[in-house]
Amino acid sequence: MEIDDEVVADFVGAFDAQPADALAASLTCTELDILARLFRAMGRPDLAEVWTECHADQDDQGDAHYIGGGQDGEEGDRAPQ
User: Each residue's pLDDT tens digit in the chain (81 positions)?
Assistant: 888 999 999 999 999 888 888 898 888 889 999 999 999 999 999 999 999 988 877 765 666 565 665 433 344 444 444
Determine the 3-state secondary structure of 61 from DSSP: coil
Provide the pLDDT for residue 69.
54
Q: What residues are paired with 75 via a beta bridge? A: 69
Q: Which amino acid is at 79?
A: A
For residue 38, give Cα distances in angstroms to 11, 23, 67: 11, 16, 22
What residue segments make up the domains of the chain, in order of their start?
Answer: 16-61
How far is 59 from 44, CA to CA, in rounded Å?
A: 23
Q: What is the pTM of this model?
A: 0.71
d(CA 4, CA 56): 31
pLDDT at 59: 60
Are 60 and 28 a contacting pair, CB within 8 Å?
no
Q: What was the pLDDT predicted at 78? A: 45
